[in-house]
């Protein structure tokens, strides 16, 4: 294998790795800038708009020598990026290129017209850029990526070899962008679901095939740190008390074996006693559906859901009011009843007369369509008000 082939293979590896890096493409862009002998390489993942600063990754030729292929992306607050976002993106003549087609700026705008443009005089000239080679590509989910390679005016135009290299890289960049976009969407979906579970006051623990903890939400983390009834021994879930802990381990073993066998209907439930007068925790264990090809000891295998009766129901007064057209006082009364208070206790704590409390409850019944206090409590607990 020649040095050129080795460089190309290394560059492709970094293009795909970029989708997984904490700072996307922090390794590929510096190497691409070096291979193409460019002043700046820019990857626009989300164009700026009036209410969005966009996502622009810049790699600028360093002033001093650095190790080959090494270097960080430019600070997004640097003038080149910030000025482009805030002032010059709307003037950029080099956008909306034909997809997957490598184009040079001089192909669509003669040098004389470029030099006369506001874009050149107020943006490109101050940062000494003139020659630009670019390609736009779009992944199937719709994310458009714009790759731009720039040189100074004193440097030579991009030739056939540079264009050919960019053409070869483009399909791989598109696939890497697709991986990146899918991961971002999955992360967003996960955060939405995780936030909803947190709002519903359900603690969640994810275990692997060895019963070791992989992840928790904030509620579960707090319960484990408290260590009252439920804790971790190493990374293994443990309940205080030999007999009840044996039940937990047997349940986990059954669930994990069921998951491995593809039987997802098995669910186990336990009560976890606590000391100091605290209410017992409710614990449910169920298999995590395995993604195809996701075998391995670090894969999610079992989910443990925990409810703590001592955590107050967190329905939003505002959301409940909007759902059922309740006044703030009526929504507050409904929430307090859902927390287990009697109508007399609500009257006393809210410092309203029993007659006023009964009138508010009657109005709530009329607006929600229920006729009993127990039905109202169930309605509040099952409503989406807790997600507010």
Are 325 and 378 in the same domain?
yes
Are 269 and 222 in the same domain?
yes
Are 170 and 53 in the same domain?
yes
Q: Which of 289, 307, 325 marks a domain boundary?
A: 307
Are 28 and 166 in the same domain?
yes
Q: Considering the entire predicted model, what is its pTM?
A: 0.67
Which residues, listed in sequence order, are joined to residue 37 by a DSSP beta bridge? Answer: none
Q: Which of 257, 272, 307 marks a domain boundary?
A: 307
Tens of pLDDT along 103-152?
A: 999 999 999 999 998 888 988 888 889 999 999 999 998 888 999 999 99
Tens of pLDDT along 323-374?
A: 899 999 999 899 888 878 899 998 988 899 999 999 999 999 999 999 999 8
Domain that holds residue 361: 317-387
Residue 18 lies in a domain: yes
Helix axes 354-368, 328-338, angle to 10 degrees: 90
Tens of pLDDT along 154-187?
A: 999 999 999 999 999 999 999 999 999 999 888 8
Residue 42: pLDDT over 50? yes
Residue 312 lies in a domain: no
Q: Which of 254, 275, 307 marks a domain boundary?
A: 307
- CATH code of residue 321: 1.10.10.10
Are 16 and 146 in the same domain?
yes
Are 225 and 324 in the same domain?
no
Are 216 and 135 in the same domain?
no
DSSP of 316-352: -HHHHHHHHT--HHHHHHHHHHHTT--HHHHHHHTT-
Residue 194 lies in a domain: no
Are 301 and 321 in the same domain?
no
Interstrand relation of 213-216 and 202-207 (parallel, antiparallel or unpaired): antiparallel
Residue 230 pLDDT grade (very low, low, confident, very high; cuts 50, 70, 90): very high
Structural domains counted in the chain = 3
Residue 289: pLDDT over 70? yes
Give how far Cα 275 sits from Cα of 80, 180, 236, Å.
Answer: 61, 47, 21
Are 302 and 327 in the same domain?
no
Are 128 and 79 in the same domain?
yes
Are 159 and 18 in the same domain?
yes
């Amino acid at each position: 294998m020649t040095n050129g082939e080795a460089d190309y293979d290394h560059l492709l590896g970094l293009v795909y790795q970029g989708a997984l890096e904490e700072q996307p493409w922090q390794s590929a862009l510096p190497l691409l800038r070096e291979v193409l002998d460019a002043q700046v390489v820019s990857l626009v993942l989300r164009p700026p708009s009036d209410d969005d600063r966009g996502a622009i990754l810049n790699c600028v030729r360093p002033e001093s020598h650095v190790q080959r292929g090494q270097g960080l992306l430019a600070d997004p607050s640097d003038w080149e990026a910030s000025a482009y976002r805030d002032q010059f993106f709307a003037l950029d003549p080099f956008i909306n290129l034909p997809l997957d087609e490598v184009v040079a700026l001089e192909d669509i705008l003669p040098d004389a017209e470029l030099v006369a443009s506001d874009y050149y005089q107020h943006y490109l000239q101050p940062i000494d850029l003139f020659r630009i080679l670019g390609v736009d590509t779009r992944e199937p989910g719709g994310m458009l990526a714009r790759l731009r390679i720039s040189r100074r005016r004193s440097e030579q135009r991009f030739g056939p070899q540079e264009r050919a290299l960019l053409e070869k890289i483009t399909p791989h960049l598109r696939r890497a962008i697709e991986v990146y976009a899918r991961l971002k969407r999955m992360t967003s979906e996960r955060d939405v679901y995780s936030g909803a579970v947190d709002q519903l006051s359900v603690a969640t623990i994810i275990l692997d095939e060895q019963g070791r903890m992989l992840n928790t939400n904030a509620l579960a983390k707090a319960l484990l740190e408290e260590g009252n009834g439920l804790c971790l021994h190493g990374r293994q879930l443990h309940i205080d008390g030999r007999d009840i802990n044996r039940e937990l381990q047997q349940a986990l073993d059954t669930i994990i074996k069921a998951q491995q066998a593809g039987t997802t209907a098995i669910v186990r439930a336990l009560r976890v006693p606590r000391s100091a007068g605290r209410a017992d925790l409710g614990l449910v264990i169920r298999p995590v559906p395995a993604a195809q090809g996701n075998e391995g000891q670090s894969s999610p295998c079992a989910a443990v859901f925990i409810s703590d009766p001592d955590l107050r129901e967190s329905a939003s007064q505002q959301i409940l009011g909007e759902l059922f057209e309740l006044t703030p006082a009526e929504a507050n009364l409904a929430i307090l009843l859902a927390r287990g208070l009697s109508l007399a206790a609500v009257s006393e704590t809210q410092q309203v007369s029993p007659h006023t409390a009964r009138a508010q409850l009657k109005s709530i019944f009329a607006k929600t369509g229920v006729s009993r206090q127990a039905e109202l409590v169930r309605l509040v607990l099952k409503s989406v008000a807790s997600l507010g």
